[in-house]
Chain A
Amino acid sequence: MNERVIEVWELAKRFGDVVAVDRLSFEVRRGEIFGLLGPNGAGKTTTIQLLLGLTTPTSGSARVLGMDVTRDTRRVLQRVNFSSAYISLPSNLTVRQNLKVFCRLYGIRRADERVRELLELFDIPGIADRATGALSSGQLTRVNLCKAFVNHPEVLFLDEPTASLDPDIADKVRTALKRLQREQGVSIVYTSHNMREVEILCDRVLFISRGKAVAQGSPREVVERANGASLEEVFIAIARDGELRDTAAASE
Chain B
Amino acid sequence: MSGSWLRISGLLLRYFYLYRRSAARLMGILFWPVMDLLVWGFLTTYLQRMVLPSAVVFLLGAVIFWDVFYSAQQAITLSITEEIWVRNILNIFVAPVSVAELLLATSIVGVARAGVSAAFLAVLAWSLYSFNIAALGLALVPFLFALVLFGWAMGMFTMALVLRFGQAAEALIWGIPFLIQPLSAVFYPVEVLPGWLQPVAKALPSTHVFEGMREVLKTGTVDARRLAAALALDVLALLLGALFFAWMLSRVREKGYLSRLGME
Contact = CB atoms under 8 A, between A and B. Distances in A.
A86 B96 contact: no
Interface string A59-95: 0000000000000001101101110101111111100
B218 interface: no
A247 interface: no
Given A49-B258, A55-B256, A56-B254, A93 B90 contact: no
A13 B259 CA distance: 15
B49 interface: no
B253 to A, nearest CB: 5
A36 B67 CA distance: 50
B21 interface: yes
B17 A147 contact: no
A48 to B, nearest CB: 9
A45 interface: yes
Contacts of A81: 94
Contacts of A97: 13, 17
Contact of B7 (A52, A75, A107): A107
A54 B88 contact: no
Q: Is the interface of A mostly helix, strand, loop or mixed?
A: mixed
Q: How large is the interface on A (under 10, 10 to 19, 20 to 34, 35 or more residues)?
A: 35 or more
Interface in B56-98: 86-98
A147 B253 contact: no
Given A78-B96, A92-B18, A102 B91 contact: yes
Q: How large is the interface on B (under 10, 10 to 19, 20 to 34, 35 or more residues)?
A: 35 or more
Contact of B93 (A54, A80, A109): A54
Interface in B1-43: 1, 3, 6-7, 9-11, 13-14, 17-18, 21-22
B28 to A, nearest CB: 14
Q: Is the interface of B mostly helix, strand, loop or mixed?
A: helix
Contacts of B6: 104, 107, 109
Contact of B22 (A86, A92, A102): A92
B255 interface: yes
A87 B18 contact: no
B95 A77 contact: yes
Given A81-B94, A102-B10, A105-B10, A88 B256 contact: no
Interface of B: 1, 3, 6-7, 9-11, 13-14, 17-18, 21-22, 86-98, 250, 253-256, 258-259, 262-263
Interface of A: 13, 15, 20, 45-46, 49, 52-56, 74-75, 77-78, 80-82, 84, 86-93, 97, 100-107, 109, 147
30 contacts: A20-B256, A49-B256, A49-B258, A53-B253, A54-B94, A54-B253, A54-B256, A55-B258, A56-B250, A82-B90, A89-B86, A90-B17, A90-B18, A90-B88, A92-B21, A93-B18, A93-B21, A100-B13, A101-B13, A101-B17, A102-B91, A104-B6, A104-B10, A104-B11, A105-B7, A105-B92, A105-B95, A107-B3, A109-B1, A147-B91
